[in-house]
Chain A
Amino acid sequence: MAEITYEGKTFEVDEDGFLLKFEEWCPEWVDYVKESEGISEISEDHQKILDFLQDYYRKNGIAPMVRILSKNTGFKLKQVYELFPSGPGKGACKMAGLPKPTGCV
């Protein structure tokens, strides 16, 4: 497992670039990841999705289903991909600091 230092913060990550510890998340993390996820600037819309993912994870201990993400944020899946080109799992969840999606991916 690798350790990344960015703007004076260190993050423990896995091969896929997911944070190993949700508690290590901080705004600098988003800044660090965004380029590798094809995002140049974090807009309000990006932030809205990231905030929702984090709230949901803190409350429920899992990432929301895609449908729930769409319903709560008001963004259709197409818009989610416009914001996060690699999608809600690899893109948004990674930036929000949630654990790596598992299962038959």
Chain B
Amino acid sequence: MAKHATPMLDQLETGPWPSFVSDIKQEAAMRAANPKGLDYQIPVDCPDDLLGVLELSYNDGETHWKHGGIVGVFGYGGGVIGRYCDQPEMFPGVAHFHTVRLNQPAGKYYTTDFLRQLCDIWDLRGSGLTNMHGATGDIVLLGTTTPQLEEIFWEVTHNMDNDLGGSGSNLRTPAACLGESRCEYACYDTQAASYNLTMEYQDELHRPAFPYKFKFKFDGCPNGCVAAMARSDFSVVGTWKDSIKIDQEAVAAYVAGEFKPNAGAHSGKDWGAFDIEAEVINRCPSAAMKWEGGKLAIDRSECVRCMHCINTMPRALHIGDERGASILCGAKAPILDGAQMSSLVVPFVEAKGDFDEIKEVVENIWDWWMEEGKNRERLGETMRRLSLQKLLEVVGQEPSAHNVQEPRHNPYIFFKEEEVPGGWDRDINEYRKRHQR
């Protein structure tokens, strides 16, 4: 018998999509039955009380969590999101309901052994509820009490060789698309880059030292499967410099209908026979393709590497061999001064080995932003306030046409004094000699 009546939540058990309500009820029943005989370290009915407080919120149309919460583990300035219920007498099981962010493996590949160990720790010391995964990438352990935080941290580090993720004004947990592990579009090893930079900047991740939060994300190609350009201050997106590789026989197979366009992604609807002219050639944003006499040709100098033709004919068209990545900066959500996607800063950078070229850009940006960024100002906002020119300067990137979508249309142009013959020191009396008042 459930602890609280939840008539509204019960409605969310109907319908075809996996119901979070059914799942939480299952966990609540499992804890009540306790088949393993665990000595639960937080209230056994924590999930019941979570459903109870959620039902109350459904009724009131208001949240029932208090403002903020500052908890953590010694040595770190982040990693745990403290939270307290504003009706602790009614729902004592969630009086404390802190969230622990755990660093996830890049690409989120797991063994069942790892996940079982983690569940064992969390069953004993937490609510048994999780988020797989938080939007930034972390494994999210949802709901525990303050005294359990150091216990969980000890077990995760000592028994699982794992660490907390980031929170606060610091480097947050980096994430990558699955990259070369199982995608033929990957232009660099995104998982290796994510892992390497996560390890390199552990201090910056665990101990907030920045004006505000800062995120890395690594996409293997412009398709953006981890949405780096929208969700990270520092977005690394794979690309290539040479030509797209064309397998003319495979192109013919697409045209003949042997291979399905877009690997069959549109097979749910009848779009007619594949029409290479209409679906690829005429859709190329820079009109860089030609289809003549049964041969496909691409003008490399015009191609903007948008991925469309490769996405449509993956068996016939392949990324080039001179691979690397572009670095774009400044993406952020609307608060405070409006949403931003990242802007292109470095058009092409090597992305291999220890990723030293990428780290150099990171560190130059940090040196500048840590000094110049205002309190709670994202990099994107600092860029707007102090200009893209300034960012290019600190990164050592020669400004080029690549850095803008279009040139400015206003004439409020600043010049550096040394660029202007004679400088800024002028004498009005000299001027008056030629121009009377």
Contacts and interface: CB of A to CB of B under 8 A. Distances in A.
Interface residues of A, number: 24
B420 interface: no
B255 interface: no
Contacts of A46: none
Interface stretch (A3-11, A26-34, A50-58, A82-90): A82-90
Contacts of B222: none
Interface string A6-26: 000000000110100000000
A77 B209 CA distance: 7
Interface residues of B, number: 31
B210 to A, nearest CB: 8
Interface string A35-69: 00010000000000000000000000010011100
Contact of A81 (B207, B210, B370): B207
Interface stretch (B27-35, B76-84, B279-287, B306-314): B76-84
A93 to B, nearest CB: 9
A89 B209 CA distance: 11
B357 to A, nearest CB: 26
Contacts of B70: 16, 18, 89-90, 94, 100-101, 105
A67 B68 contact: no
A104 B213 contact: yes
Nearest to A18: B70
Contacts of A85: 74-75
Given A101-B70, A105-B168, A86 B77 contact: yes
Nearest to B76: A87
A15 B69 contact: yes
B380 interface: no
Interface in B59-92: 66-78, 81-82, 84
Given A66-B208, A87-B207, A89-B208, A16 B69 contact: yes
Contact of B167 (A65, A77, A88, A105): A105
Contacts of B203: 78
Given A16-B70, A89-B70, A90-B70, A67 B209 contact: yes
A23 B210 CA distance: 29
B436 interface: no
Contact of A16 (B71, B76, B78): B71
Contacts of A72: none
B245 interface: no
B261 interface: no
B72 A86 contact: yes
Interface in B170-189: none
Contact of A67 (B74, B370, B376): B370
B71 A65 contact: no
A102 B68 contact: yes
Given A86-B72, A103-B376, 11 more contacts: A16-B69, A18-B70, A66-B209, A66-B210, A77-B209, A78-B203, A87-B208, A89-B168, A94-B70, A103-B169, A104-B213
30 contacts: A15-B82, A16-B69, A16-B71, A18-B70, A38-B74, A62-B375, A65-B211, A65-B375, A67-B209, A67-B211, A81-B75, A81-B77, A81-B207, A85-B74, A85-B75, A86-B72, A86-B73, A86-B74, A86-B75, A86-B77, A87-B207, A88-B77, A89-B168, A90-B70, A100-B68, A102-B67, A103-B169, A103-B376, A105-B68, A105-B70
Interface of B: 66-78, 81-82, 84, 96, 167-169, 203, 207-211, 213, 370-371, 375-376
Nearest 8 A-B pairs (CB), nearest first?
A87-B77, A85-B74, A16-B70, A38-B74, A105-B168, A77-B209, A15-B84, A90-B70
